[in-house]
Amino acid sequence: MKSKSTKLFENRKAYHNFFIFDSVEAGIELKGSEVKAIREGKIDFTGSYVKLSPQGAEIVGMYIKPYSHAGIEVPDPRRPRRLLLHKRQLLSLFTKVQQKKMTVIPLKIYFNKKNLVKLEIALAKAKKKRDKREVLKKKQDLREIKKAG
């Protein structure tokens, strides 16, 4: 994927707080000044999630800092933004969320070859505290093995 796109931002906390399953690339509906702000890297995914319905999907809680050289009309930085998915993808995600009690979270935002803003979203299940501790313990054990060996 690195050769096809320019990665701008990755939600690394998502890998710490969730078990990640299927991922899907989605377009995102933005205003012009928001695209310029994303190019500057002024974006925050903390606490954002994807709200699904059979009619459509939107990302809620994503913060895009207003572009410094924007005109009079500056969009709300925390407004819900519509995601552009194929109907088949949308229904698949919707049924999995309903049946398996999962959530959909954003993982990455980047520009593709055609300079369109793309958002990688994934089905995820929240980790419990004990799961996070186990992962940290495994990482620590691997570091100790490498240090010793």
Domain assignments of the chain as residue spans, ordered by start: 6-148
The reported pTM is 0.81
pLDDT at 1: 44
pLDDT tens, 3-50? Answer: 456 767 888 888 888 999 989 999 999 888 888 888 888 888 888 999
The better pLDDT of the pair 79, 73 is held by 79
What's the Cα-to-Cα distance from 53 to each of 20, 28, 65, 83, rounded to whole Å? Answer: 21, 16, 27, 11
With cut-offs at 50, 70 and 90, classify the pLDDT of residue 81.
very high
Share of the chain above pLDDT 90, in %: 40
Q: Which CATH architecture has domain 6-148?
A: Beta Barrel (2.40)
With cut-offs at 50, 70 and 90, classify the pLDDT of residue 131.
confident
Dmax (CA) for the chain in angstroms is: 61
Q: Tell me how far apart the alpha carbons of residues 133 and 124 are, in angstroms, rounded to a whole number.
A: 18
pLDDT over 90 at 122, yes or no: yes
pLDDT at 28: 94
pLDDT at 110: 92
What would the two tokens of residue 103 be? Answer: 């959530």
With cut-offs at 50, 70 and 90, classify the pLDDT of residue 119.
very high
